[in-house]
Amino acid sequence: MKPQNLRLFIEQIHQQLPKTKCYTDPADCTAYGYDNSRRQSLPDVVLFPTSEEEIITVIRLCNHFSIPALARGRGTGTTGAAVPIYHGLVISLEHMNRIIEVDAANRVMVVEPGVLNSEVQEAAARFGFFWPPDPSSSATCSIGGNLACNAAGPRAIKYGSCRENTLGLRAITGSGECIKTGTYTTKGVVGYDLTRLIIGSEGTLALITQATLKLIPLPETKRTLQLIYSDIHHAAAAVSRIMSQPIIPCALEFMDKACINIIHHRNGIEFPINSGALLIVEIDGSTSTILNDLEKVSAAAEGEGLLEKRLAKTEAEVKNMWQTRKALSPGLRHIAPKKINEDIVVPVSSIPTLIHALEQLSKKYQIIIVNFGHAGNGNLHVNLLIDPDDANQQQHAEQCLEEIFNLVVNLKGCLSGEHGIGIEKRRFISKELDPNALTLMHQIKRVFDPALIMNPGKYLPDPTL
């Protein structure tokens, strides 16, 4: 980016948009240069648009002056996707935060990208609905960010991620064109599926300005079970048994022994002696069938190694069980503030193989590896508790990660289940994607964004390397 271009760009921005919608002072811009990856890079300009027209204007200026443009939700992403590594413009969508319509008859909600996930859930609940994607960060992350990362959460096992729960979008492409994708209806086969292409593309193709979300009726009732096994292998076998019977849980979460120990020591929660792994299984449905479903899931959970089975009897007990799960991330951050957190996915039946291999890698590289996550999808958060400021540990961690990713691909798995690629995983994705598909993706990127201004340095690997 040429300094002269930047100066002319800022002049144009000031001429064409109200000054109140734009920051250029580094002291103001600095808060828009980080995300939860803990990386940081200062943007030159931060813009707070309130309309598509303003976004079209600035994207066209970015094309004209070759200025990088980065859409920002709330910066809770964990991969550096929202960090403006080449500086330039950050477009913060926080003021485009209207819920435009809740259409209960058609089970649809139309929103602007800056609405928080929790605000969508609250608005939907008033009409007896919910929107399935439920990242743990729901109180602080935006729908635009959710869509750009194809975010999910515990409920994805039964209800899917953003891709399965979004009918259509409005978006501004990298060349500054406004496009409408998808449908307002739950069926529709006209045209290529640009909605699913843009969802999960981390702002590298287009900036999402509106979304038509598919709503699901809130279930009448839920039941929550906590299961404790003697070791991870018996718990993994139980996950396979639960998943191979006809009732789909609405959550099936997993924690290994290290996680149980951390929660015991930090939060004072008691577990049976020799607890080696914990599952939280939740089922939802109608009051007339829930007990029958519970019986089946409960029977599938029975088996060798089961130490304790607890059914939550009150709302407070349900809350406590989930509190166990939610206490984990802060607990781990306390122990290893700069830990590496991967969110790999393997077929559910391969979880025991993966866990066994992770134990071997932990010994080989002398790194504590702690695992928890959405076992029903085979989506495990693998945490390497290292201090990256220790060069030796960092080098071991890099070698260990390389082996973990190779293992995941060999098990027909996926390098990221929900956190995305950003900067962190960019150099690894050619392990999973075949070269022809990758070439096609680079070509698609150029069709949407000919000047390559949209969130450069993220997602796809550098084609010149």
- List the interface residues with ligand FAD, window 368-427 (CB under 6 A): 418-419
Regarding 155 and contact with ligand FAD (CB under 6 A), the answer is no
CB 328 within 8 A of CB 262: yes
Measured between alpha carbons, how far is 162 from 143 in angstroms, rounded to an integer?
9
The gap from C-alpha 124 to its chain's centroid, in whole angstroms, comes to 21
CB 174 within 8 A of CB 59: yes
Regarding 71 and contact with ligand FAD (CB under 6 A), the answer is yes
Ramachandran region of residue 346, left (φ > 0), alpha (ψ -120 to 50) or beta? beta
Select the span of 21-29, 142-150, 237-245, 260-268 touching ligand FAD (CB under 6 A): 142-150
Among 30, 41, 50, 329, binds ligand FAD (CB under 6 A): 329
Measured between alpha carbons, how far is 250 from 297 in angstroms, rounded to an integer?
12
* Interface pattern 95-134 for ligand FAD (x via CB under 6 A): ------------------x---------------------
Closer by beta carbon to ligand FAD, 146 or else 377? 146
Measured between alpha carbons, how far is 51 from 191 in angstroms, rounded to an integer?
27
Among 37, 57, 121, 146, binds ligand FAD (CB under 6 A): 146
Handedness of CA 240, 241, 245, 249 (dihedral sign): negative
Select the span of 144-152, 273-281, 355-363, 440-448 touching ligand FAD (CB under 6 A): 144-152
Closer by beta carbon to ligand FAD, 61 or else 290? 61
Closer by beta carbon to ligand FAD, 106 or else 118? 118
Q: Name the amino acid, one letter, at 248.
A: I
Select the span of 25-33, 136-144, 265-273, 396-404 touching ligand FAD (CB under 6 A): 136-144
CB 252 within 8 A of CB 243: yes
Say how many residues touch ligand FAD, by CB under 6 A. 36
Closer by beta carbon to ligand FAD, 242 or else 454? 454
Q: Residue 223 pairs with which residues in a beta bridge? A: 283
Among 33, 75, 285, 413, binds ligand FAD (CB under 6 A): 75
CB 9 within 8 A of CB 67: yes
Straight-line distance from the first to the last Cα atom of the chain, in angstroms, rounded to the nearest whole number: 21
Regarding 70 and contact with ligand FAD (CB under 6 A), the answer is yes
- List the interface residues with ligand FAD, window 187-246 (CB under 6 A): 202-203, 207-208
Return all residues near 50 (Cβ < 8 A) that are at least 6 apart.
21, 95, 96
Select the span of 75-83, 185-193, 287-295, 439-447 touching ligand FAD (CB under 6 A): 75-83
Which two tokens mark 218? Answer: 């809130």
Which two tokens mark 459? Answer: 């997602």
**CA nearest to 42, candidates 26, 62, 61:** 26
Closer by beta carbon to ligand FAD, 38 or else 310? 38
Helical ranges in 52-126 per DSSP H: 52-65, 117-125
Give the other-Cβ count within 10 Å of 127's Cβ: 16
Regarding 76 and contact with ligand FAD (CB under 6 A), the answer is yes
Select the span of 7-15, 65-73, 288-296, 388-396 touching ligand FAD (CB under 6 A): 65-73
Backbone angles phi, psi at 284, to 5 degrees: -135, 165
The distance of closest approach from Cβ of residue 171 to ligand FAD in the complex, given in angstroms and rounded to an integer, is: 7
The distance of closest approach from Cβ of residue 304 to ligand FAD in the complex, given in angstroms and rounded to an integer, is: 31
Regarding 87 and contact with ligand FAD (CB under 6 A), the answer is no
Interacting residues with ligand FAD (CB under 6 A)? 35-36, 70-78, 81-82, 93, 113, 135-137, 141-142, 144-146, 148-149, 151-153, 202-203, 207-208, 329, 418-419, 455
